Amino acid sequence: METLASLLHTSPATAWMAVKVLMAFGLIMGIAPPLTWAERRGSAMIQDRIGPNRAALFGKIRILGLVQALADGVKFFFKEDLVPPHANKRLFWLAPLLAFVPAMLGFAVIPMGRSFLSGGTEYHLSLLDPGNGMGMLFPMAVGAMAVYGILVAAWSSNNKWAILGGMRASAQMVSYEVGLSLAVIAIFMVTGGYDPHEIVKAQQGTFLGVLPNWYVFRQPFGFLVFFVCMFAEANRLPFDFAEGESEIVAGFHIEYGSMKFALIGLAEYGHILGASALITTMYLGGWGIPFVADHGQIPVIVTFLVFLTKVIALCLVFIWVRWTLPRFRYDQLMNLGWKKLLPISMANLLYFAYRMRG
Amino acid sequence: MENLLISLAQNLFPIFGLLAVGGAALMVASRQAVHSVLGFLFAMLCVAGCFLTLEAEFLGIAQLLVYAGGIVVLFLFVVMLVELTKYKEKDIFQKQTKVALLAVAGGLLVVGGALRNALFGPAAKEALTLRPEITNGAVLGNAQAVSRGLFADFLLPFEILSIILLVALVGAVVLAKTERV
């Protein structure tokens, strides 16, 4: 670390911060395009089609259609940037940013691997060091900001489909946040803190002797609620009321094209990644390897790869669910959120609070 | 480069404060209701930033979660549904300048008096902190400090506030339901 810092003429702390920022940003931007590919090929597999496989580098190298993501990217950059004449131009321009930035920020507190010592100082693999006082509340707060991107995009487009999509999406996201928070509070309570490093530490060891000590096994109902709410928060099927193409064409981003559309799309995949990272950290032991008691001997890169594996596996679950379940009706969505998930997560919270009585 | 970063980092509080005032000014000045709400949102975000620079991380995040994430969303929701430029609501909401000026003047008097007392008045005997045994204790995060304050030191005012909120909630439900009863 010191050599890198001296090469860059900065202090080790600044150099490490730069590395972490590049890592978090690169992780999202590096995984999102392959995720779009996985989404299309996965949907094709599930629906017994072939999926995109025509795009090729130099007319030869196809790599199972993976080049398609590259072609899409190039297309987005070179398309004409249209703003509809009746749109509110400034907000129309602002909305993709409002959608994109929160999707990127949520990663800031997630520990992506074991903390390590180098030259006497301890380095952490999360952008914000532990003990920052924000902990897991930060991704929740930033995730709550995502609704503005959708609302502003919907309103500024001046299009009735867009407004319908935005209204449905925002009502849905605000409703599901309640159950989500209650599920999370149960974890904070049992851990005795809301710092992600503490939460990951609290999940090491075994539960009942045979299972990893993950919260997914210790609080299965909380996990269920959190998992379902994450689909709603990320606006993914079966809760994709923001888009619902068979009902309201494409919903809130109907008027968007070119790079603005790409930013909104990237934000969606950023949310999937963020949701997967949150689920991994809170319920699947974060970077911890199951059944390993002492992580001090395991190389940092292995813990990072374990974290990455869990996140990508969850992303694939998101894709799998999208192409397996049909969309809910709006009243079913609200029933599920307020009459089923909220009581379940409240009961979960009360149960664990009762168990903690002194 | 690092010197620039450091000087920026040391002046984050005034930067966020000025930005918050700018957001509030945008909220008051813009003709378009949605722009107003977005200005309000920006001001709320900057206030959260102010809390963060004062090492009140929990308050900052609570500000984000509750105000920016919840309350302003509902504002935006309502404002988007009510088109103020076309209908008679315009008469209700945009012809209150005199009353508003009076209210602002009264507010300024109160806040200015409090500020004057705080800046130039006699120094308080005790610092405006939570109980010393809480703040000076071992490593307590500010979530603990806030919750001690809420549930131990200021329990009664906190409960009274919750009852006021409950009354407002019930009142809103009653108002909204009148046609059906």
pLDDT, tens only, A263-305: 888 888 888 888 898 899 988 888 888 877 777 778 888 888 8
- Looking at the partner chain, which of A91, A141, A155 has a beta carbon nearest the beta carbon of B69? A141
How far is C-alpha A314 from the chain's CA centre?
A: 10
Spatial contact of A20 and B11, defined as CB atoms under 8 Å apart: no
ipTM value for the complex: 0.80
- Decide if A285 is inside a domain: yes
Q: What is the pLDDT of residue B91?
A: 60
Mean local confidence (pLDDT), A52-68: 77
Mean local confidence (pLDDT), A122-145: 81
Mean local confidence (pLDDT), B98-115: 90
Mean local confidence (pLDDT), B14-27: 91
Domain that holds residue A199: 83-357
Spatial contact of A314 and A31, defined as CB atoms under 8 Å apart: no
User: Rounded to 5 degrees, what angle do the CA atoms B128, B131, B133 make?
Assistant: 135
- Decide if A24 is inside a domain: no
- Decide if A69 is inside a domain: no
pLDDT, tens only, B44-70: 999 998 888 887 888 888 888 888 888
Question: Which of the two residues, A132 and A268, has the higher pLDDT score?
Answer: A268
Phi, psi angles (nearest 5°) of residue B155: -65, -45
Contact A134 B143 (CB under 8 A): no
- In angstroms, the Cα distances linking B21 to A59, A349, B39 are 57, 40, 10
How far apart, in whole angstroms, are the C-alpha atoms of residue B53 and residue B63? 13
Confidence of residue B166 (pLDDT cuts 50, 70, 90): very high
Return the top range by mean pLDDT from A47-56, A135-144, B42-51, B80-89.
Answer: B42-51
pTM for the whole structure: 0.83
Mean local confidence (pLDDT), A72-93: 84
Phi, psi angles (nearest 5°) of residue A235: 55, 45
How far apart, in whole angstroms, are the C-alpha atoms of residue A346 and residue B11? 43
How near does any CA of chain B get to the CA of A133, in Å? 5
- Tally of domains in chain A: 1
**Chain A residues with CB within 8 Å of chain B CB:** 10-11, 14, 88, 91, 131-134, 137-138, 140-142, 144-145, 147-148, 151-152, 155, 163, 166-167, 170-171, 174, 177, 193-194
- Decide if A275 is inside a domain: yes
How far apart, in whole angstroms, are the C-alpha atoms of residue A257 and residue A153? 12
Spatial contact of A164 and A203, defined as CB atoms under 8 Å apart: no
Mean local confidence (pLDDT), A316-324: 88
- In angstroms, the Cα distances linking A170 to A92, A104, A161, A230, B46 are 17, 19, 14, 14, 23
Q: What is the pLDDT of residue B106?
A: 94
- Decide if A14 is inside a domain: no
Question: Which of the two residues, A243 and A217, has the higher pLDDT score?
Answer: A217
Question: Which of the two residues, A323 and B163, has the higher pLDDT score?
Answer: B163
Q: What is the pLDDT of residue B25?
A: 92
Which residue does chain B place closest to A155, by CA atoms?
A: B80
Q: What is the pLDDT of residue A292?
A: 75
Amino acid (1-letter code) at residue A356: M
Confidence of residue B139 (pLDDT cuts 50, 70, 90): very low
Q: What is the pLDDT of residue B20?
A: 93
How near does any CA of chain A get to the CA of B58, in Å? 6
Spatial contact of A153 and A257, defined as CB atoms under 8 Å apart: no
How near does any CA of chain A get to the CA of B127, in Å? 23
A173 has a pLDDT exceeding 90: no
Q: What is the pLDDT of residue A290?
A: 82
B27 has a pLDDT exceeding 50: yes
Best mutation site among B32, B36, B52, B61 for testing chain A: the one with the most A CBs within 10 Å?
B61
- Decide if A68 is inside a domain: no
Q: Can you name the residues that pair with A122 across neighbouring β-strands?
A: A117
B18 has a pLDDT exceeding 90: yes
Contact B76/A at CB under 8 A: yes
User: Rounded to 5 degrees, what angle do the CA atoms A18, A21, A24 make?
Assistant: 150
Mean local confidence (pLDDT), A42-48: 87
How far apart, in whole angstroms, are the C-alpha atoms of residue A277 and residue A6? 33
Q: What is the pLDDT of residue A203?
A: 84
- Decide if A158 is inside a domain: yes
Average pLDDT taken over every residue of chain A = 83
Best mutation site among B34, B47, B59 for testing chain A: the one with the most A CBs within 10 Å?
B34
